């Protein structure tokens, strides 16, 4: 009897609580977060945990697992095709530097008045919207012997016999692939930079014009300082991106002829050879490298921008000192 | 102006337009050359150089054949289903999460934001090694709903676009609604969601382009390409025996990028602003 009354009491209490503002807040917070958090857990953190676990086993997706300890990790570093593939990311780093410089140059041009600026911008941005598989076909076609690229070079006076096989010749094929990645992303980078440049107060340009600053001086002293943050951010992202380069070789050469980047090799080991343990170990190793790189970059970033702030801080401190001196003199008088 | 300055001035203008024209040419050449080949008949393709213009710009044969062989009718239906479901779900999930994170202070708010941010550091391809195992145990392989649920997952950039937008909507709006007796759900659904429209358009375009172009997971999880092709994966038909029939392949490629082209022409401004908004916080 007493117990029943008690549950009725808590039930009533709960209903009251649920009707109160506080209760409603808790309910809406829980209701609105359960789905996103469930998705985040199921498709990001659970697999992340599982992957770390897999990396200690010799296993396939189905069938039995054998615990092998650190053996997979040892293979990652000893197998030629695994860790060595990271060397290729240097090509992609080089490519992304070219891409950022090009994007910055074109963004600077386009953020001043240009006839047909929007059309140029559209042309250069559009490659970003094409799907990866289509890009693969487009460039297989583009680089085929005697096809588009060779024809254009012949128009410029090159002899076909002197041209290499763009996708087969190991001296050049990684550069050809990096080129496709630059082609795909430089327009998108450019749009980012234009956005950043546009956010600069236009009065600054007018003032500079009146002072007789030329275009280069405007770039050097107005544009560059104000977009320093976004440029640095993109340089950082491109380094991490280069380590995990995947798409160009995956869709164009399938990693043949020495174009297999780390992730292409990992993808092959995971899904074709089904050596899930080894592939997981590869993924974990690269994730650790990426984290380390990100932390180093964050520190670097902080250091660079703290310096800039210090300058300001120093200036204001000096001004304060001057004011204090002035005030003291006044008071002394 | 002296004559020398004048020459310098015109030289700068000349170089400016030269670089714009050159890089625009570089950007469109691969696609345009593909379009040229797509209009050529088999015989023309065999006998002319790839850069020779086609005899007729109205020759639909390759497009029809590519459309049929790659089962692109089915692919467009599937892609549309995927696109609409993913967009609706991710708008509802993303805006409601952003609403809670922006409007309420509660323990764990910062932690949850960081959990989402940290997720962006994990490269997708590496994660799929383990996601595959999970999809397998959920019976989500070769299942359209399974693929859709996976695609609805973390979309941090959209969430940040929404949070940024919420920051600019005054809280006094919520407060006056509360005085009028509105529940939190009513505030979110009736008052804030309509105001969020510009941010939703931006986020939808970004997510939409990403979803439409997604091919890696679609290839991995929708293995039965006869029944479950998407527009992007339908192009896999051309890997293998058809691999050298570039007049067909190019036609397929052009068909697959037409929707993106149309959306681009219609929504240029929103796409550009979406790129910029997504980058600042992401």
pLDDT digits (tens, 9 = 90+) for A215-236: 778 778 888 887 887 887 788 7
Backbone angle region of A214, left / alpha / beta, with phi > 0 → left and psi within -120 to 50 → alpha:
beta
Q: Which residues face A58 on adjacent strands?
A: A66
Q: Has residue B282 got a pLDDT over 50? A: no
Q: Taking a contact as any Cβ pair under 8 Å apart, which residues of chain B between 75 and 134 contact chain A?
A: 93-94, 96-97, 99-100, 104, 106, 112, 115-116, 119, 121-123, 125-134
Q: pLDDT at position A329, please?
A: 52
Report yes or no on whether pTM surpasses 0.95.
no
> Look-up: residue for tokens 């770390």?
A52
* Any A CB within 8 A of B26 CB: yes
CA distances from A61 to A54, A277, B129, B136 (A): 10, 9, 10, 8
- Out of A122, A133, A148, whose CB is closest to B51? A148
What's the mean pLDDT in A119-127?
Answer: 94
Contact call for residues A226 and A196 (beta carbons, < 8 A): yes
Contact call for residues A267 and A246 (beta carbons, < 8 A): yes
Q: Do B123 and A290 touch (CB under 8 A)?
A: yes
Q: Do A196 and B276 touch (CB under 8 A)?
A: yes
pLDDT digits (tens, 9 = 90+) for A32-76: 999 999 999 999 999 999 999 999 999 888 888 889 989 999 988
Q: Has residue A1 got a pLDDT over 50? A: no
What's the mean pLDDT in A266-283?
Answer: 91
Q: Has residue B30 got a pLDDT over 50? A: yes
3-state DSSP helix/strand/coil % of chain B, to nearest 5: 75, 0, 25
In angstroms, the CA B122 to CA B127 distance is 7
Q: pLDDT at position B81, please?
A: 96
**DSSP state, A20?**
S
pLDDT digits (tens, 9 = 90+) for B230-277: 999 999 888 877 878 899 999 999 999 999 999 899 988 888 887 776
Contact call for residues B126 and A263 (beta carbons, < 8 A): yes
- Which of A131, A151, A294 should we substitute to test contact with B (largest number of B Cβ atoms within 10 Å)? A131
What's the mean pLDDT in A248-268?
Answer: 89
Domain chopping of chain A, boundaries = 16-73, 80-314
Q: pLDDT at position A332, please?
A: 46
Q: Has residue A104 got a pLDDT over 50? A: yes
Residues of chain B found within 8 Å of residue A134, distances taken between Cβ atoms: 232, 235, 253, 256-257
The mean-pLDDT minimum among A145-154, A175-184, A296-305 falls in A296-305
Q: pLDDT at position B28, please?
A: 95
Number of CB pairs < 8 Å for A and B? 243
Q: pLDDT at position A238, please?
A: 82
Contacts of A278 (CB under 8 A, 6+ apart): A72, A75, A76, A269
pLDDT digits (tens, 9 = 90+) for B50-70: 888 888 888 889 999 999 999
In angstroms, the CA B239 to CA A134 distance is 12
Angle made by CA atoms A95, A99, A100, in degrees to the nearest 5: 120
Q: Which residues face A57 on adjacent strands?
A: A67
Residues of chain A found within 8 Å of residue B256, distances taken between Cβ atoms: 131, 133-134
Q: pLDDT at position B63, please?
A: 93
CA distance B186 to chain A (A): 11
Contact call for residues B207 and B86 (beta carbons, < 8 A): yes
Per CATH, which fold does A80-314 belong to? MetI-like fold (1.10.3720)
Contacts of A226 (CB under 8 A, 6+ apart): A196, A197, A199, A200
Quick one: what percent of chain A has pLDDT higher than 90? 37
Per CATH, which fold does B61-281 belong to? MetI-like fold (1.10.3720)
Q: Has residue A304 got a pLDDT over 90? A: no
Q: Do B231 and A105 touch (CB under 8 A)?
A: no
What's the mean pLDDT in A175-202?
Answer: 89
Residues of chain B found within 8 Å of residue A266, distances taken between Cβ atoms: 125-126, 129
- Out of A37, A47, A131, whose CB is closest to B213? A131
Quick one: what percent of chain B has pLDDT higher than 90? 44
Domain chopping of chain B, boundaries = 61-281
């Amino acid at each position: 009897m007493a117990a029943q009354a008690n549950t009725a009491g808590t039930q009533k209490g709960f209903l009251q609580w649920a009707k109160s503002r506080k209760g409603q807040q808790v309910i809406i917070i829980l209701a609105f977060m359960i789905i996103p958090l469930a998705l985040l857990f199921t498709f990001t953190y659970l697999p992340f945990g599982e992957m770390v676990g897999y990396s200690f086993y010799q296993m396939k997706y189905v069938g039995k697992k054998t615990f092998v300890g650190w053996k997979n990790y040892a293979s990652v570093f000893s197998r030629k095709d695994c860790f060595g593939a990271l060397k290729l990311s240097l090509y992609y780093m080089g490519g992304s530097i070219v891409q950022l410089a090009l994007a910055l140059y074109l963004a600077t041009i386009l953020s001043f008045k240009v006839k047909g600026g929007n059309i140029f911008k559209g042309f250069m941005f559009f490659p970003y919207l094409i799907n990866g598989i289509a890009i693969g076909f487009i460039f297989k076609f583009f680089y085929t012997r005697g096809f588009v690229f060779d024809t254009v070079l012949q128009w410029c006076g090159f002899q076909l016999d002197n041209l290499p096989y763009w996708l087969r010749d190991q001296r050049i094929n990684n550069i050809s692939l990096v080129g496709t990645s630059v082609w795909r992303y430089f327009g998108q980078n450019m749009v980012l930079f234009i956005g950043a440049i546009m956010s600069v107060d236009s009065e600054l340009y007018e003032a500079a014009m009146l002072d007789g600053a030329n275009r280069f001086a405007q770039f050097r002293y107005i544009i560059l300082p104000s977009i320093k943050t976004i440029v640095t951010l993109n340089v950082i992202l491109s380094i991490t991106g280069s380590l995990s380069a995947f798409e160009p070789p995956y869709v164009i050469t399938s990693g043949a002829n020495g174009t297999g980047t780390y992730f292409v090799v990992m993808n092959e080991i995971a899904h074709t050879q089904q050596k899930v343990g080894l592939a997981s170990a590869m993924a974990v190793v690269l994730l650790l490298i990426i984290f380390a790189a990100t932390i180093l970059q964050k520190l670097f970033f902080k250091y660079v921008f703290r310096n800039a702030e210090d300058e300001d801080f120093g200036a204001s401190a000096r001004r304060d000192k001057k004011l204090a001196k002035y005030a003291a003199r006044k008071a002394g008088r | 102006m002296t004559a020398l300055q004048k020459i310098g001035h015109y030289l700068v203008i000349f170089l400016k337009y030269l670089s714009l024209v050159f890089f625009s040419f570089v950007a469109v050449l691969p696609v345009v050359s593909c379009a040229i080949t797509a209009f050529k008949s088999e015989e023309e393709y065999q006998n002319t150089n790839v850069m020779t213009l086609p005899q007729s710009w109205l020759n639909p044969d390759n497009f029809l054949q590519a459309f049929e062989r790659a089962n692109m009718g089915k692919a467009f239906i599937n892609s549309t289903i995927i696109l609409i479901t993913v967009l609706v779900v991710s708008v509802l999930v993303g805006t409601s999460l952003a609403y809670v994170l922006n409007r309420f202070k509660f323990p764990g708010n910062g932690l949850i934001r960081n959990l989402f941010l940290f997720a962006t550091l994990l490269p997708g391809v590496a994660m799929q090694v383990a996601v595959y195992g999970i999809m397998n145990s959920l019976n989500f392989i070769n299942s359209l709903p399974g693929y859709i649920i996976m695609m609805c997952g973390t979309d941090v950039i959209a969430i940040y676009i929404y949070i940024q937008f919420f920051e600019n909507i005054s809280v006094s709006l919520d407060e006056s609604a509360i005085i009028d007796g509105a529940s939190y759900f009513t505030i979110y659904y009736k008052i804030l969601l309509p105001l969020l429209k510009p941010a939703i358009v931006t986020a939808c375009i970004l997510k939409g382009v990403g979803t439409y172009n997604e091919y890696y997971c679609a290839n991995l999880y929708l293995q039965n390409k006869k029944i479950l092709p998407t527009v992007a994966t339908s192009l896999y038909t051309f890997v293998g025996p058809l691999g050298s029939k570039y007049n067909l392949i190019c036609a397929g490629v052009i068909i697959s990028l037409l929707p993106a082209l149309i959306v681009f022409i219609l929504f240029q401004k929103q796409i550009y602003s979406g790129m910029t908004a997504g980058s600042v916080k992401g």
